[in-house]
Amino acid sequence: MGPGDVNLSAEQNFFKATDAAALQHPLTITRTTIYTCTNFSIVIFFLPPTAVIPLHNHPGMTVFSKLLLGSLRIKSYDWAEPPVFAAGSTPDDHLRLAEVVVDSGFSAPSDTLVLYPAAGGNMHRFTAATPCAILDVLGPPYSEDRDCTYYQDFPYSHCCPSESQPPLQL
């Protein structure tokens, strides 16, 4: 699938914006829903340069993400298994260790990324390097009882300064 399949073109003004021009305007991320039903939804996100979709998850969902136009950086995590909590914390503190799955730049056209409910980098952050469009197919779709959670990532050494510990991240 490519940008032409959803009537997008690199010639549209949004994708011609320069970093300098885009920085004069608020970094507004927009989206358009192409289709939704009880089993899945198809959405396109439009990110201007330097915009960030913060670190978040897709609980109980499988997500296919396809970068249609532009370039971005993706950093994603999976929970460490078995569950490991930061030294001195409890499950109620929500300071759980996670492992980096992807920390790379991507440019369109690129392969489709697949995020599974518990693997593949389900917790992830997108940072736009250029104006970009990302097609997401989410199954099942978000609902009133299924919403994402936002996270902060901290280097492992932030909570557990011992140098003999494995290089995991929060």
| Per-residue pLDDT tens digits for 35-50 | 999 999 999 999 988 8
Residue 135 to residue 43: CA distance in whole angstroms: 6
pLDDT-derived band at 4, boundaries 50, 70, 90 = confident
Alpha helices in 57-161 (DSSP H): 156-159
88 sits in the region (left: phi over 0; alpha: psi -120 to 50; else beta) called left
Q: What is the pLDDT of residue 66?
A: 95
Q: Which pLDDT value is given to residue 62?
A: 94
Backbone angles phi and psi of 91, in degrees to 5? -55, -30
Domains of the chain: 3-152 (2.60.120.10)
Mean pLDDT of 89-93: 64
E-assigned strands of 13-122?
30-36, 41-47, 52-56, 62-69, 71-79, 98-107, 113-115
Backbone φ, ψ for residue 5 (5° rounding): -70, -20
Distance of CA 16 to the CA centre of its chain: 23
* Amino acid 168: pLDDT: 46
SS3 state of residue 13: helix
Mean pLDDT on 132-160: 83
Q: What average pLDDT does this structure show over 53-68? A: 93
Predicted confidence band of residue 140 (pLDDT cuts 50, 70, 90): very high
Q: What is the pTM of this model?
A: 0.80
Whose CA is closest to 24, among 50, 53, 52? 50
Tell me the one-letter amino acid at 108.
A
